[in-house]
Structure 1
Amino acid sequence: MMEAGGRKLRVAHWRLGEKSDHPPVLFFNGIGANIEAVAPLAERLTERGFIMFDMPGTGNSPEPTWPYNPFTMSWTASRILEQLGVKQVDVMGVSWGGAMAQHFALQHPRRTRRLVLVATTAGMLMVPGNPAALSKMTDPRRYIDAKFMNEHFATLYGGMTKDPSGKSKHIGRLKPPTPRGYVYQLLAMLGWTSLPALPFIGKETLVMMGDDDQIVPLINGKILAGMIPNATLEVFEGGGHLFLLTHADESVASLRKFLDAPATDAEERRAA
């Protein structure tokens, strides 16, 4: 547990004390998701550090007492990095966390080296997904009722994993957010959009999307990649909203290829 930005948050980090040629990854999770949901990804990226935290009211972070927004949570994340002694990170976010990652990169450009946006949108100005999936996405039973989650997993996330045990493993890692925590996460992005600011994201950016995502259709990734100057779009065939986990091998290979690529001329000029 760490105190940052006036909040107490549960923070997880991997390999920060180990020597590495790569900056750590700062990861922003999807709405309502706890650290354990994405821990397998952190554990696979063995050559670099990894940092993420439970949002207020999710996982083991205490319930929020007052609302927050992308600005305040980006500032809070920067305070966490300061306490951990980390100056620069590669910023990554999935779904709701992808919007947070965009905002962090815009608010803290000096702390951000590269940006990875996964199954996400430009905020409120987005192309909506399958109504059946969206209605179940907002149903709190998906966190507290394993039977409900099991029955509607394909509708919710598409792109089912080839490993039959993958679904049950993911469900087993989830911990339901508090009602207030979940509502405050929804409210945090109310009215928020990055669309006008996307041309000013001056970072090398990888946009990763699944072509079977029922919640965030592929067109949203095409919009992001088209408006961010130094962006590359990678589409995962058969990937749903959880392709980061269901297509783990391909996802990790893509991340390594992007994050390990030599610095561009623009990045070298900024570093100088």
Structure 2
Amino acid sequence: MMPHARTRAQDGTLLAYQHEGGGRPLVLLAGQANDHHWWDGVREDFHTTHGTITVDYRGTGDSDRPDGPYSTQVFAEDVIAVLDDLGIERADVYGTSMGGRVAQWIAVRHPGRVGRLVLGCTSPGGPHAVERDATVRRALAQADPAAAREALLDLMFTPSWLAGHPGPYTTLADPGMPPHARRGHLVASNDHDAWDALPQITAPTLILHGDQDRLTPPDNVTLLAARIPDTRTHLFPGARHAYFQECRPQASTIVTEFLAGPQ
């Protein structure tokens, strides 16, 4: 096991990553402007069968924070650089939110490197995707940081879950990110469009979503399932964007059972 390590991307950017547990490798990809802490409290659910690999995206965590480039395709190649550094030829991949967009490109561009694919609370991007509504965008763009944080918490979790879980919360972005990196991540996520490429995915794919997700509307599940050849889907009733935390026991079990299928 190599808990914390670094390697270089193709363009020389220093990338930090974390490798925990043993067994078949499972790459866990976080949402926009988040580092590996997105998976705190969840990744150990997979350690009975998998060794988990997380990456601090460029711009986050202990990775370099260059001026650019930032895109979901660049992030995908960064993940491949990490797998190469670990000597891993093939891994299962589980990406959530922007991480699901990154995972799409990994599966499209490197089909031989992906065993099974899990896409959570994500979308195909581009003009075909179902976007969040204007009220959500305005709430997240508030000038008051505290108000914007509360808005994001409300999009991530239900009030009842928040009442029983006072924090700290690990899905509200890396607080150490410089402004240029935050902008880069926003552009990367907003510019993602894998629609035309999705039918090229050959990995068996599981698509997960909270049915009350306003950050990435659940209608995107149907769109992804129609474009990716070998898919199954699951919606979590009442859940919002961070279903993987709020519905953790059920969600982790569903993912583990899916990953146990044939490669």
Q: Same fold (TM over 0.5)?
A: yes
1:8-35 per-residue CA deviation (whole Å, 9 max, x = no partner) reads 12211111xx3x2xx2111221001121
Alpha-carbon distance in 1 for matches of 2:224, 2:55: 25
Give the drift of 1:94: 0.8
1:95 CA displacement: 0.9
| C-alpha separation in 2, matches of 1:234 and 1:246 | 15
Quote the residue 1:169 is aligned against.
168
8 Å CA contact 2:225, 2:232 repeated in 1: yes
Q: Given that residues 31 and 97 in structure 2 are in contact (C-alpha distance below 8 angstroms), is that contact kept between their aligned partners in structure 1?
A: yes
Identify the residue that residue 179 of structure 1 maps to in structure 2. Answer: 179
Q: Which residue of 1 aligns with 2:14?
A: 8
**Structure 1 portions without partners, runs of 5+:** 268-272
Unaligned runs of 5+ in 2: none
Partner residue, 1:129: 132
Residues matched between the structures, number: 254
CA displacement, residues 87-133 of structure 1 (integer Å, 9 cap, x when unaligned): 11111111111110000111111110111000000012311123222
**How many Å separate the matches in 1 of 2:236 and 2:114?**
25
Matches within 5 A, 1:107-122: 107-122=109-124
1:230-269 CA deviation, whole Å, 9 max, x = no partner?
01110000110011111101110110111112x1xxx5xx
Structure 1 residues 55-91: Cα deviation after superposition (integer angstroms, max 9, x where no partner):
1222232311321333333222112111112111111
Compute the TM-score of the two structures, normalised by the length of structure 2.
Answer: 0.87
CA shift in 2, pair 1:13/1:108, >3 Å: same
Partners of 2:13 and 2:69 in 1: how far apart?
A: 11
Higher helix residue share? 1
Q: Provide the C-alpha distance between the structure 2 equivalents of 1:141 and 1:13, rounded to a whole number of angstroms.
A: 37
Q: Work out whether residues 159 and 241 of structure 1, in 8 Å CA contact, stay in contact via their aligned partners in 2.
A: no
Corresponding residue of 1:45: 46
Q: Give the corresponding residue for 1:203.
A: 203
TM-score normalised according to structure 1 size: 0.85
* Counterpart-to-counterpart distance in 2, 1:100 and 1:151: 25
Contact 1:166 1:246 in 2 (8 A): no
Residue 135 (structure 1) shift: 2.7
8 Å CA contact 2:142–2:148 kept in 1: the answer is no
Q: Quick check: 209-218 or 72-81, which moved more? A: 72-81
- SS across alignment from 1:72: helix
Given the superposition, is the C-alpha separation of residues 69 and 140 from structure 1 closer, same or farther in structure 2, using an over 3 Å criterion?
A: farther
**Separation (CA, whole Å) in 1 of partners of 2:45 and 2:67:** 35
The change in CA–CA distance for 1:260 and 1:140 in structure 2 (over 3 A counts) is: farther
Partner of 1:270: none
Which residue identity does 1:129 align to in structure 2?
Answer: R
CA shift, 1:214, in A, is 0.9
The CA deviation at 1:39 is: 2.0
